[in-house]
Amino acid sequence: MEPALVVTALWLAFGGTHVGLAAAPIRGALVQRLGARGFGLVFSAVAAITFALLVHYYAEHRFEGARGLALGEVAWIRWSAIAAIAAGVTLLPSSLFSYPTTPYALFREETEHEARGIERVTRHPFLAAMALFALGHVLLATHLVGTVFAAGFSVLVIGGALHQDRKLAAEKGPAFGRYVASTSGIPFLAILRGDQRLVARELPWGMLALGFVLALVLRSVHDSIFASGGVWVIAVVLGGAAVEVVQSLRRASRRRVRRGDEEAPAVT
């Protein structure tokens, strides 16, 4: 069978369950039955299994099947795509660094939020980074299976950004609407239209430098990234996601403790 068709099916399984389980009616029913943390565990387990299957299959069949777009043969497209990929990787550490303070952070209950730092560039730094990374690979992939694999990430992160905005607008109301109006999902768009300004001192320069070094390292080991059935990609992505969930739970717990201290009556 054409590997691109199998990857399409695996993407539908991963993306479909990822978005489907998060849809309000299904999520509400599962949370009522399992509790918020129980739902989180089920959601994470399904995502981990379907993602691992997708990456493993792609890693084993990435050099098979029909020809991809292979637009790297055109010099200006090749360098534009490489620049997009490098920009995406450079942005990744900054996106993870800023995530806990954004309205999108797991278990974050605050509604009022003012954009700072990298949020002035894009309110979705992680998803924007992944979109740049994936779209660059869509153009460069030499096999159709690679084109489909990268395109799946593009669709997921762009659709995910739109879904998150709609969901939080419904949950957090006008305060979140003001945040969205003053920022942009597309990098630098809010700055160009005058709704934001770039404040150099707020940018996480250390994280950006780390991201640039990471881009150079990944380029040097590019041919072996999906070696051993993609085990390293699976381990890094799932391990990073697990760490972020644990940290989010800890932050939520600390916020609850602080609120309890603030609300407790003074002892005289």
Q: What are the domain boundaries of the chain?
A: 1-65+225-268, 67-220
pLDDT at residue 244 greater than cutoff 80: no
Q: Look at residue 263 in the predicted model and tell me its pLDDT.
A: 53
Mean pLDDT of the chain: 89
**Of 155, 151, 146, residue with least CA distance to 3:** 146
Longest C-alpha distance within the chain, in Å? Answer: 78
Mean per-residue pLDDT, 112-139: 94
Mean per-residue pLDDT, 79-87: 97
Mean per-residue pLDDT, 87-116: 85
Q: What is the pTM of this model?
A: 0.87
pLDDT at residue 240 greater than cutoff 90: no
**Of 170, 171, 194, residue with least CA distance to 181:** 194
Q: Look at residue 259 in the predicted model and tell me its pLDDT.
A: 65
Q: Look at residue 266 in the predicted model and tell me its pLDDT.
A: 47
Q: Look at residue 256 in the predicted model and tell me its pLDDT.
A: 67
**Of 148, 144, 140, residue with least CA distance to 222:** 140
Of 148-152, 168-172, 194-198, which range is least confident? Answer: 168-172
pLDDT at residue 61 greater than cutoff 50: yes
Q: How confident is the model at residue 186 (pLDDT cuts 50, 70, 90)?
A: very high
Which sign, positive or negative, has the C-alpha torsion 95, 16, 236, 56? Answer: negative
Compute the distance between CA of residue 207 and CA of residue 213 in angstroms, rounded to an integer: 10
Compute the distance between CA of residue 59 and CA of residue 255 in angstroms, rounded to an integer: 41
Mean per-residue pLDDT, 145-158: 95
Neighbouring residues of 225: CB distance < 8 A, sequence distance ≥ 6: 218, 232, 233
Q: Which two tokens stand for residue 179?
A: 């945040």
